[in-house]
Amino acid sequence: MRMLEIGVCGTDKEIARFKYGEPPGGSDRLIIGHESLGEVIETASDVKSITRGDLVVPSVRRPCLQPECSACAIGRQDFCYTGKYRERGIKSLDGFMTEVVVEKERYLHRVPPGLRDVAVLTEPLTISRKAIRQIFEVQDRLPWTCAVPPSPRKDERPVISCRRALVLGAGPVGLLAAMTLVDAGFETMVYSRVSGVSERVEITKAIGARFINAEQISAKNLPDSIGQVDAVLEAVGASQLAFEVLSLLGPNSIFVFTGVPGTGERMSLDVGTLMRNIVLKNQVLLGTVNAGPEDFESALQSLSQFDKRWPGILQRLITRRVPPEAAPDLLSGHGEKAIKTVVAMTNGMN
């Protein structure tokens, strides 16, 4: 593959600060980059599903190769048991911020040409695709679908328009999660800190979700101002906020953690109340990392669907594109205003 675009996220910045990540064994450097889009320039003779000229998004995680790992053995390294999985651009394997990459066919997902300008968002979208799939699987335990008018067809999605979801964080993962939840039928709210006029607020409104500014409403006051929610999708990696919101959850709710916070954060917490609530209110806490092949496929379908439903919005998540030379500054930058910055690996288009 010739690499076309690489998205930069918080994980990359942490790696660049030597707070996370690991180079390949025996190497003293790691090629960064795990959110990517490439173009196939050459294939081996036994490659069937992909040909020269195809646009592809590679997945990130690779199996641990331990014989006892039943997850990695069947290509579900996102559920690796041993912890010895590898991740391209993050852990023990070089990533994609380079001119040319060789990859196995089974780790590549073909991108419809019409998604060229937004396909670099596939990987961050897989987080909420995997999350929502599990939300539905877990909540199947409940009378969770709303009272439906008669004659629902078998192939119809469950009616969940009476269900309410809250997304913590308005970064790319949070906003893509909000789109995922709105599109699935949830009444969706996004809770984040912003000051002044914000593109994040505009995007939230444009997709039919409600923005709640954490500058104005503290976590403690959330239930009073927004009422109960059925699902929370945490996408900030801020442990304090997550646990504050967790302790306010209502009956039968599910709280999904997707952020990877720094370690050593401390707060005091009424764990008695928390545990009581979890039991007496049938609550679920779910952690989810990385994504399986089906999540990459469904993320690509969602990108097409979102682009149809909200023309121009996905494009607005990509605030800017910079040349590779700008990557070092980008990686050391803190608290940027941009939603998603993408490194364009080639000059101009193709």
Query: Which residues contact ligand BGC by CB under 6 A?
Result: 9, 11, 34, 60-61, 87, 90, 123, 260, 289-290
Residue 302 CA to residue 131 CA, distance in Å, equals 14
Q: Which is nearer to ligand BGC, 146 or 260 (CB)?
A: 260
Minimum CB distance to ligand BGC, residue 111 (Å): 18
Minimum CB distance to ligand BGC, residue 23 (Å): 14
Q: Which is nearer to ligand BGC, 179 or 219 (CB)?
A: 179
Using the rule CB under 5 A, is 9 a contact of Zn ion?
yes
Minimum CB distance to ligand BGC, residue 70 (Å): 19
Q: Select the span of 6-14, 87-95, 240-248, 256-264 touching Zn ion (CB under 5 A).
A: 6-14
Query: How buried is 41 (Cβ within 10 angstroms: 0-12 exposed, 13-18 middle, 19+ buried)?
Result: exposed
Q: Which is nearer to ligand BGC, 87 or 230 (CB)?
A: 87
The residues in 93-152 that bind Zn ion, with binding defined as CB under 5 A, are none
Say how many residues touch Zn ion, by CB under 5 A.
2
Minimum CB distance to ligand BGC, residue 185 (Å): 26
- Which of 11, 253, 288, 341 binds Zn ion (CB under 5 A)? It is 11
Q: Which is nearer to ligand BGC, 284 or 292 (CB)?
A: 292
Q: Which is nearer to ligand BGC, 204 or 290 (CB)?
A: 290
Minimum CB distance to Zn ion, residue 332 (Å): 17
Q: Check: CB of residue 15 under 8 Å from CB of residue 35.
A: no
Q: Residue 87 binds what, of Zn ion, ligand BGC, none (CB under 5 to 8 Å, by partner type)?
A: ligand BGC
In the sheet with 2-8, reading across from the earlier edge strand, the strands are 108-111, 55-58, 35-39, 2-8, 340-344, 318-322
Residue 233 φ then ψ, to 5°: -115, 110
Rg of the chain over Cα atoms, rounded to whole angstroms, equals 20
Minimum CB distance to Zn ion, residue 60 (Å): 8
Q: Which is nearer to ligand BGC, 21 or 144 (CB)?
A: 21
Angle between helices 172-184 and 122-139 (to 10 degrees): 50
Q: Which is nearer to ligand BGC, 60 or 108 (CB)?
A: 60
Angle between helices 172-184 and 199-206 (to 10 degrees): 10
Residue 146 CA to residue 97 CA, distance in Å, equals 46
Minimum CB distance to ligand BGC, residue 162 (Å): 32
Q: Residue 290 binds what, of ligand BGC, Zn ion, none (CB under 5 to 8 Å, by partner type)?
A: ligand BGC
Q: Residue 50 binds what, of Zn ion, ligand BGC, none (CB under 5 to 8 Å, by partner type)?
A: none
Minimum CB distance to ligand BGC, residue 258 (Å): 9
Using the rule CB under 5 A, is 289 a contact of Zn ion?
no
Beta carbons within 8 Å of 28's beta carbon, 6+ residues apart: none
Q: Which is nearer to Zn ion, 9 or 326 (CB)?
A: 9
Q: Which is nearer to Zn ion, 40 or 291 (CB)?
A: 291
Residue indicated by tokens 């912890």: 83
Minimum CB distance to Zn ion, residue 171 (Å): 10
123: tokens are 């990987």
Using the rule CB under 5 A, is 278 a contact of Zn ion?
no
Residue type, 278: I
User: Which residue number has the CB closest to Zn ion?
Assistant: 9
C-alpha neighbours within 13 Å on the C-beta side of residue 279: 5
For binding to Zn ion (CB under 5 A), which residues are involved? 9, 11
